[in-house]
Amino acid sequence: MNAKILIVDDDPDIVLMLEDRLQASGYETVTALEGQQALDLIVHESPHLVLLDLTLPKLSGLDVLKRLAQMKPADSPPVIVMTAHASIQAAVEAMKEGAYDFLTKPLDNDHLLIVIRKALERDTLRRHVAYLRSEVDGRYANIVGNSPSVRSVVEAAQRAAKSDAGVLLLGESGTGKELFARSIHQWSPRCAMPLIVINCVALTETLLENELFGHERGAFTGADRQQKGKLEMADGGTVFLDEIGDMPLTLQAKLLRVLQDREFQRVGGSKTVSVNIRIIAATNRDLRQAVKTGQFREDLYFRLNVVTLTLPPLRERQGDVPALAQFFLERHTRDAKRTGMVLSPAAVEALTRYPWPG
């Protein structure tokens, strides 16, 4: 479908000239000779872009921009304002009111088409990010991506979320394993209960054991009171064990008991603690190979590997790069209170071409 451009100018000759130029370049056009008519057409014709003269009778171009800001249409099109050389300050004011760019009359045809193309490209990206953000608010939680490989994993994760089956997330570092674990928890019947994340490679064996199972008073020097472990704290909810492939064998045996019997003992204790938790585990290692070499328990592997989700690396889903890049740009600029920034087409192209090796 060709982009539809609304031309707004009170000079019929300029309107006709722009219609000819734009239609010759493959665009569909609609026209208005004054501001209120332009506002009505924006609502009823849904143009993809507006070329707006600032010096209109009755309702000026600047007033049209202000009215647009008040209306806040769901898919507000980018606006390029047109002005004479003597009215540059007015064009700057228009930019402050939300115009994408401005052009000075007489219009240069090549420059006109370049600015229009860039504005449409940016707006296409904006709409795509908005679509993905709507998915973020609903079905896709915080997962940004619409490639077939990502959709396939998301759909499998949604199916897995409905049950209490163990889930094993496989993928390279940076593929979003924790993000998927959080999403599965959010989609599950346990969503109102805690989700606790434990990194199995970040702690020594002793500290990891204490983190998981807690300890009784007097269990070791400095243990002056009983302390619950993360498994106990997650009762009713979900535990995400990141980098499970690096868990020491002795702790693998204790974790296996939790999966089989839903119970364990705190460090230094003899009392059995019962828990109702779901385990989601993740690793970037080949666990089947680790089982063969004796680095990972086979019985634990089969307990964890009820549902396996393999997350694709970015280099295998490069169609998602533009939306991901814009998503992170907006997130970081929002934190810095600098909203409205958009990646240039050149930056998007460079990011898309990058091979993303790791």
Closest CA to 46 of 30, 70, 60, 24: 30
Token digits for 165?
């089956």
Mean pLDDT of all residues in 65-93? 78
CB 278 within 8 A of CB 238: yes
**Could you tell me if 301 and 162 lie in one domain?**
yes
**Could you tell me if 216 and 275 lie in one domain?**
yes
Q: Mind listing the pLDDT tens digit for each residue in 309-350?
A: 999 998 888 888 888 888 888 877 776 666 667 888 888 888
Matching residue, tokens 């990011």 = 351
Gap between the Cα atoms of 30 and 118, Å rounded: 20
Please report the pLDDT score of residue 139 as a whole number: 47
**Could you tell me if 155 and 298 lie in one domain?**
yes
* Residue 326 structural domain: 318-353
Q: Which residue has the higher pLDDT, 218 or 300?
A: 300
Please report the pLDDT score of residue 140 as a whole number: 46
Domain boundary among 57, 77, 107: 107
**Could you tell me if 237 and 200 lie in one domain?**
yes
Mean pLDDT, the chain, whole residue set:
87
Closest CA to 229 of 252, 247, 249, 207: 207
pLDDT higher than 70, residue 10: yes
Question: Looking at 197-211, 222-236, 285-299, 344-358, which range is the least confident one?
Answer: 344-358
Q: Mind listing the pLDDT tens digit for each residue in 272-308?
A: 999 999 999 999 999 999 999 999 999 999 999 889 9
pLDDT higher than 80, residue 66: yes
138 in a structural domain = no
Domain count, the chain: 3
Task: Quickly state the pLDDT bin for 116 (edges 50, 70, 90).
Answer: very high
**Could you tell me if 307 and 186 lie in one domain?**
yes
Q: What is the CATH number of the domain that holds 203?
A: 3.40.50.300
Q: What are the residues whose beta carbons fall under 8 Å from the beta carbon of 147, sequence distance 6 or more? A: 312, 317, 319, 320
Gap between the Cα atoms of 305 and 244, Å rounded: 12
CB 21 within 8 A of CB 39: no
Closest CA to 241 of 253, 226, 252, 225: 252
Q: Give 245's DSSP letter.
A: G
Token digits for 216?
């009784």
Gap between the Cα atoms of 152 and 146, Å rounded: 10
Token digits for 279?
């385990």
pLDDT higher than 50, residue 77: yes
Pairing of strands 49-53, 79-84: parallel
Task: Quickly state the pLDDT bin for 143 (edges 50, 70, 90).
Answer: confident
Q: What are the residues whose beta carbons fall under 8 Å from the beta carbon of 102, sequence distance 6 or more? A: 80, 81, 82, 83, 91, 92, 94, 95
CA distances from 181 to 109, 166, 278, 351 (A): 52, 11, 11, 27
pTM for this model (two decimals) = 0.60
Closest CA to 328 of 172, 176, 210: 176
pLDDT higher than 60, residue 87: yes
116 in a structural domain = no
Task: Quickly state the pLDDT bin for 352 (edges 50, 70, 90).
Answer: confident
How many C-beta atoms lie closer than 10 Å to residue 56's C-beta?
A: 22
**Could you tell me if 50 and 173 lie in one domain?**
no
